[in-house]
Amino acid sequence: MIKKFALTLEYEIPEVLKPYVIAAIYGESKEDIQVTFPVFPNGFAVLIHVYADLPLLKVEDNSWLAPSHLNLAGQIHDTIPKMVIDGLFGQNGFLLHPLTPYYLFHIKGNRFVNEWIALEKIVDFDWTTLLKELEACREPIERVILLADMLMVLEQNRLPAIPWLDQCIATIYQKNGVVSINEMVTLSSLSNRHFRRVFTEIVGVPPKYFCKVVQLNGLFEAINSSDNDKILQLALENGYYDQSHFIHDFKKLIGDSPQRFLMGKDAYVKEYLGRKSLQ
């Protein structure tokens, strides 16, 4: 079985990377396993280093092996991808700020929605050397340090900031996703249509959908540290207007009712969800 799925790793993010990195995560098994689990939207892009067998990725009727041992996973939109492990499970990396792929990797979010993309396909870097150094590591923290060093090199060539988009993302998290599109349009000083187009292009998903993902993950952060029996009360405390509104959004993003999911075989996946940390 999977010993650890996607736990937060105790790691002090370097100051220069704090605008880009949310948390370090890792997951592993100590023996070969055969398991399929869903991957739900959490609002973050993910830098993934696979140090064991490459997983099979399934999106609706399509499936393919992970393209590399070093990948960027994009936003999830209107589907629930699945990861199939048939062998040894070992992955670690970083949850990234939604704008990090654009700023550091120079790739817009709409280019890899519901996909993993190999880093060597999008960034000029000495990937051969880095992969050899990662292969020599024995502990997750060693791998994370090497990945952080790589990000610090990329940070030196970051794209110019888009202040209004930075402010919109910050506002969405500050308000736990409970923010109107009109409020964000006002922050951007753009037309409604232009705002939606640029937001979706850079982040990868429409602003309203992104807000729902942030709100639900705020709820999961509370669920992960509370009693599941209080889920409706937690939902109301996280900005849901009523039970039907909450259940509708939960089913849309998770694919099942809250009760069935939290009592089902995939409930352990909730440790991957949640806000983690974001100022």
Residues 71 and 101: beta-carbon distance below 8 Å: no
Region of 167 please: left (phi>0), alpha (psi -120 to 50) or beta: alpha
Task: Give CA–CA dist 116/45, Å, rounded.
Answer: 10
What is the pLDDT, as a whole number, of residue 209? 95
Task: Give CA–CA dist 243/226, Å, rounded.
Answer: 18
Residues 127 and 120: beta-carbon distance below 8 Å: yes
Instruction: Calculate the average pLDDT of the chain.
Output: 89
What is the pLDDT, as a whole number, of residue 238? 75
The CATH code belonging to domain 4-155 is 2.60.120
CATH 1.10.10.60 residue spans of the chain: 163-272
Residues 116 and 57: beta-carbon distance below 8 Å: yes
Residues 275 and 216: beta-carbon distance below 8 Å: no
Residues 107 and 75: beta-carbon distance below 8 Å: no
pTM, rounded to two decimals: 0.91
Beta strands in the chain (DSSP E): 4-8, 21-28, 33-38, 45-50, 56-59, 62-65, 70-73, 82-87, 90-96, 116-118
200-250 pLDDT tens trace: 999 999 999 999 999 888 877 777 666 556 777 777 777 787 788 888 888
What is the pLDDT, as a whole number, of residue 224? 67
What is the pLDDT, as a whole number, of residue 252? 86
Task: Give CA–CA dist 142/49, Å, rounded.
Answer: 12
What is the pLDDT, as a whole number, of residue 110? 97
Residues 253 and 216: beta-carbon distance below 8 Å: yes
Domain boundaries 163-272, CATH class:
mainly alpha
Report the DSSP pairing between strands 33-38 and 70-73: unpaired
What is the pLDDT, as a whole number, of residue 255? 83
Task: With a cut of 70, list the residues of the chain below it in pLDDT.
Answer: 1-5, 224-229, 267-272, 274-279
CATH 2.60.120 residue spans of the chain: 4-155
Which amino acid is present at 156? Q
